[in-house]
Amino acid sequence: MRTVAFITQKGGAGKTTLAASVAVAAAGAGERVIAFDLDLQASLMRWGERRKDTQARSRVTVEPLEVERLQWIGAIVEGVADAGFTLAIFDTDGNDRKIAGLVAEAADLSLLPARPTCLDVEATAATFRSLYLARRSTAFVLNQCPPTHRNSRADQAASGLERLGILAPTLASRLDFQDAMAAGLGVTEYASEGKSAQEVEALWTWIRDRLAQSKGETGVSADRTLTEPA
């Protein structure tokens, strides 16, 4: 059983959209996925409801997770593992640091989405430092970048995040992501041949490999994914 948390203290970074599309990509690769929605806006739950009306071939179970149940998060993870799930994804509430900390404590990998803006990078850096001090395996995801081959703003943001810690594959801002969410699909289902789908597949491959390291499956310690924050 592996667990991934999407955490951010800055709204609009695309946390829920990434959680949904990564869940679908993982399910398409053979994982049995459950996605937990801890956000008060319940955007992931609404996506899951829309998904029931589709003919998507990749099955993703979406469930709410109330704050008061977080004290038993370890038992919850054990329970879904016993039920046959191989991957749990947590979409957290970006406005509650306590929730983020509790989920990160139980996650094998915490992903911090950020847009290529100064405010996003600063907010995400603060979140990273708190997780670093807790010795959690953490990485940044630079999201919603301009869809051009080279962009100075995205390059600067990437450089800033890389100085702090690990940077996962970058994703561009494209309408396919929003359209897929509205349809109750992951972007790999909605536009399987598009660039957005390719980027999500690359992100899932990176996550899968990082999780294998954190579990010691390749002989690499999870502590090696941590970098001293600037």
Output the DSSP codes for 39-79.
-TT-HHHHHHHHHTTS--SS-EEEEE--GGGGGGHHHHHHH
Phi, psi dihedrals of residue 105, rounded to the nearest 5°: -65, -30
Return the SS3 of 32: coil
CATH code for position 205 = 3.40.50.300
162 domain-assigned: no
DSSP one-letter code for 219: S
Phi and psi (nearest 5°) for 92? Answer: -90, 170
pLDDT digit string (tens) for the chain, length 230 residues: 999 999 987 788 899 999 999 999 999 999 999 999 998 899 999 999 999 999 888 899 999 999 889 889 999 999 999 999 999 999 998 667 778 888 988 999 999 998 888 788 778 777 777 777 667 788 889 899 888 656 666 666 666 666 666 788 899 999 999 999 999 999 999 999 999 999 999 999 999 999 998 766 543 333 333 333 33
Query: Across the strands, what pairs with 140?
Result: 112, 167
* Domain assignment present for 69: yes
- If one counts the domains in the chain, the total is 1
Phi-psi region of 56 (alpha: psi -120 to 50; beta: other; left: phi over 0): beta
Rounded to the nearest 5°, which phi and psi values hold at 33?
Answer: -110, 135
Domain span at 31: 2-110+172-225
Whether 127 is in a domain gets the answer no
Looking at residue 158, its pLDDT comes to 63
pLDDT, position 217: 57
Tell whether 156 is covered by a domain: no
* Whole-number pLDDT of residue 4: 97
- What values do phi and psi take at 137, rounded to 5? -75, 120
Please report whether residue 7 resides in a domain: yes
Cα separation, 4 vs 98, in Å, equals 17
Sign of torsion, CA 16 21 23 26?
A: negative
Query: Does a structural domain hold residue 161?
Result: no
Based on the number of CB atoms within 10 Å of its own CB, is 71 exposed (0-12), middle (13-18) or buried (19 or more)? exposed
CA dihedral 185, 45, 196, 132 (to 10 degrees): -150
- Asked, for residue 43, whether it belongs to a domain, the answer is yes
Q: 134 in a domain, yes or no?
A: no
